[in-house]
Amino acid sequence: MRGLADIYSTLFRTDLAVQFQYRAAMVIWLIGRIVDTLVFLSVWTAVARSQGGQVGGFTSGDFAAYYIVMMMMGHLTFTWFMFEFEYRVRSGAFSPLLLQPLHPIHRDIATNISYKFLTLAVMLPTVGLMVWIFDPVFDPPTWAIWASIPVILLAFLMRFFVEWALALVALWTTRTAAANQLYFAVSLFFSGQMAPLSLLPEWLQTLAAILPFRWMLAFPTELLLGRLTPTEVLWGAATQVAWLGLSWGIMAAVWSRGVRRYSAVGS
């Protein structure tokens, strides 16, 4: 464990230096995330006002709080390796990674965390500005704030393993854009990004509870908004642990089979 900690420390320092070389790209990516949030927030705020001030138990202030927290949850848990893996395989950049005495997933985890650590310098002031502009209703109980720490960590690991397993499809086919877009379309709907899940028909809420997407984003968001009881939080955390074990198992199985099938392309 100490050796792995030293490896991660080195990877973090290296990746932070690399991230600084792509400052303009990071700003563009962050702007895209903020714009998405503003679009959904504006739409649902307009709907609430047109319905007399609230819809489905959400006022304009509730929607503001929901989407501001959802934006941060998306930032803390998202990955991009589903898109990058295809390039790695096509360009031949994946082959050198297999020759190193370190599983490639460790490098990707370090890169992901270093990016998020660096971009918090922009995200946190943005959240403060949005709070000032939109006046969200945000008053979670203290226990919910503390409980959100392990819940967010589980959500990140869940999402990382699920999406890394999906990225490994590139070991079978060098074009994965269609699979990636389908995944994100389903995730957009069932993770609560498009609309709070409580506004969906009951049968869709049941389906969302079965699929992993709710537990990646909507669950930690609802927790931080104080919309869950302690029993619901415990049940949700147990569901996260179950999905984490399943996603890790799927990722490990896909990796084992994919590496044996992999044929280098590119140069």
Longest dimension (CA), the chain: 62
Which band of pLDDT confidence, cut at 50, 70 and 90, is reported for residue 122? Answer: confident
Mean pLDDT of the chain: 87
More confident site: 211 or 18: 211
pLDDT of residue 69: 95
Q: Are 156 and 220 in contact (CB under 8 A)?
A: no
Q: Report, as an integer, the average pLDDT of 19-23.
A: 70
What is the 8-class DSSP label of residue 264?
-
pLDDT of residue 2: 64
* Tokens, residue 186: 């389903």
CA 192, 198, 202, 207 torsion-angle sign: positive
Closest CA to 8 of 124, 128, 106: 106
- Give 61-75 pLDDT, tens digit per residue: 999 999 999 999 999
d(CA 125, CA 131) in angstroms, rounded, equals: 10
pTM reported for the whole predicted model: 0.89
End-to-end Cα, the chain, rounded Å: 35
Closest CA to 37 of 117, 112, 130: 130
- Give 135-170 pLDDT, tens digit per residue: 898 888 999 999 999 999 999 999 999 999 998 888
d(CA 69, CA 220) in angstroms, rounded, equals: 9
pLDDT of residue 17: 74
Q: Are 102 and 7 in contact (CB under 8 A)?
A: yes
d(CA 102, CA 115) in angstroms, rounded, equals: 20
Which band of pLDDT confidence, cut at 50, 70 and 90, is reported for residue 1? Answer: low
pLDDT for residue 266 is more than 60: no
